[in-house]
């Protein structure tokens, strides 16, 4: 059973007689501990007033995409980032069709397009509309896009028909929404995650680094918080906002990342090394900017500390997970890393693939363990992070590995 405690639910209301149930749904979601905001389509306002839903939610109701005041601050993007879950209830056949095909011609559909959050729809329509082949094809495509379908229920309909198509009862929708979250899976656990690149200074101006965006590590931190863990994120320099409800420590170099990690990993249950740490650093750092005096320049590099191997070798080690960013022989190299560094799990991905490589919003990974491997399909990094946290949590039930001597 999941939990909506401290979760942010964006309730989308579309046009249909079932819109009157949205008022009760708001109360139900709030009763489970969720903070609720509401977005209404123009048709929805014909069935229930925005003022009613504003009074119940305690937040202004968002109505228009082309709202000058809201869009000056990119309102639809702000809403998309705010939500842990977007729940569209009721979801009309028209809205489902538009969502299915990526249309963004009103505020609600645009927020859905811009969001990395989980999305669920609660269909509400006449039974013949529900049974229509086009509707069923649209729903199947939504499932393939990892959008959850809640219901519908069966019974008496406003038009006088009986059958499938009724919106699920608010209490049932609230339970379904709760079950989307794995909150409590890591309740009482501490998890430390590294993310992003490191920068190894050459002089006051230049440095050695890599293309890591930090997106995967930051998504893992958000998923860990959703799972109930006390979460620490040790981050190299990235262009990302620190996740809420996460202790974020910013560092530059590999040495700084190692020190910050060792300061936090004591007492941790899980350590995930998602950062792309520079393998080498300059043997010396010039005090002044190096001038371009010669055609060639030679640098002496020395090896950086191996953060994940250092943590894996601690006498009291947490469950230790490494990442392997490879360009060839993915499983082979990941397996070598697993055994060489004495890790519990290696999450490997092919960074030569432009669709899932550095800076991409999507990823496709191979999970490599001592006795098995499992491939996960391409998906959004936020969705992938939830699946990875679930898998890592399941490994806590196995005895920890003994550090190599």
What's the pLDDT at 379?
Answer: 79
Which residue is catalytic, options 28, 100, 112, 159?
Answer: 159
Known catalytic membership, residue 159: yes
Over the chain (405 residues), the average pLDDT of each successive run of 10 is 73 93 93 90 93 93 69 62 90 93 87 88 90 92 92 75 83 87 80 96 91 91 88 95 89 96 96 94 90 83 95 95 90 94 94 73 89 86 85 81 59
Q: Where are the domains of the chain?
A: 8-179, 190-395
Q: What is the 3-state secondary structure (H, E, C) of the chain?
A: CCCCCCCEEEEEECCCHHHHHHHHHHHHHHHCCCEEEEEECHHHHHCCCHHHHHHHHCCCCECCCCCHHHHCCCHHHHHHHHCCEEEEEEECHHHHHHHHCCCCCCHHHHHHHHCCCEEEEEECCCHHHHHCHHHHHHHHHHHHCCCEECCCEEEECCCCCEEEEECCCHHHHHHHHHHCCCCCCCCCCEEEEEECECCEECCCCCEECCCCCCHHHHHHHHHHHHCCCEEEEEECCCCCCCCCCCEEEECCCHHHHHHHHHHHHCCCCEEEECCECCCEEECCCCCCCCCCCCCCCCCCEEECCCHHHHHHCCCCCCEEEEEEEECCCHHHHHHHHHHHCCCCEEEEEECCCCCCCCCCCEECCEEEECCEEEECCCEEHHHHHHHHHHHHHHHCCCCCCCCCC
User: Does the fold of domain 190-395 match that of domain 8-179?
Assistant: yes
Q: 190-395 adopts what CATH topology?
A: Rossmann fold (3.40.50)
Specify the CATH number for 8-179; select among 3.40.50.1950, 3.90.280.10, 3.40.1410.10, 3.40.50.150.
3.40.50.1950
């Amino acid at each position: 059973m999941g939990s909506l405690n401290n979760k942010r639910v964006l309730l989308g209301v579309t046009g249909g007689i079932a819109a009157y149930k949205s008022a009760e749904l708001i109360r139900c979601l709030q009763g489970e501990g969720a903070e609720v905001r509401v977005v209404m389509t123009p048709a929805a306002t014909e069935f229930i007033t925005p003022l009613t839903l504003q009074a119940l939610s305690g937040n202004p109701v968002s109505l228009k995409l082309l709202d000058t005041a809201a869009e000056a601050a990119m309102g639809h993007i702000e809403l998309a980032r705010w939500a842990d879950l977007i729940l569209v209830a009721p979801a009309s056949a028209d809205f489902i069709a538009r969502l299915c095909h990526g249309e963004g011609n009103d505020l609600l559909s645009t927020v859905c397009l811009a969001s990395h959050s989980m999305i669920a729809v609660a269909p509400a329509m006449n039974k013949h509309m529900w049974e229509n082949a086009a509707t069923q094809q649209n729903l199947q495509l939504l499932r393939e896009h990892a959008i959850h379908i809640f219901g519908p229920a069966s019974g008496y309909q406003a038009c006088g028909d009986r059958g499938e198509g009724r919106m699920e009862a608010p209490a049932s929708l609230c339970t379904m929404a709760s079950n989307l979250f794995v909150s409590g899976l890591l309740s009482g656990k501490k998890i430390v995650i590294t993310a992003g690149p490191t920068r190894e200074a050459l002089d006051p101006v230049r440095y050695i680094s890599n293309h890591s965006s930090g997106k995967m590590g930051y998504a893992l931190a958000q998923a860990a918080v959703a799972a109930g863990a006390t979460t620490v994120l040790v981050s190299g320099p990235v262009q990302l906002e620190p996740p809420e409800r996460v202790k974020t420590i910013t560092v530059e170099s590999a040495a700084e990342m190692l020190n910050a990690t060792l300061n936090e990993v004591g007492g941790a249950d899980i350590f995930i090394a998602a950062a792309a740490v520079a393998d080498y650093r300059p043997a010396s750092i010039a005090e002044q900017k190096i001038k371009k005096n010669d055609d060639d320049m030679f640098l002496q590099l020395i090896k950086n500390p191996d953060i994940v191997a250092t943590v894996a070798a601690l006498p009291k080690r947490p469950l230790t997970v490494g990442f392997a960013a490879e360009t060839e022989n993915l499983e082979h190299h990941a397996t070598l890393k697993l055994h060489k560094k004495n890790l519990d799990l290696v999450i490997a991905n092919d960074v030569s693939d432009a669709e899932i490589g550095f800076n991409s919003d999507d990823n496709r990974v191979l999970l490599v363990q001592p006795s098995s491997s499992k491939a996960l399909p391409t998906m959004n990094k936020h969705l992938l992070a939830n699946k990875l946290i679930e898998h890592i949590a399941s490994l806590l039930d196995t005895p920890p590995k003994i550090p190599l001597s």
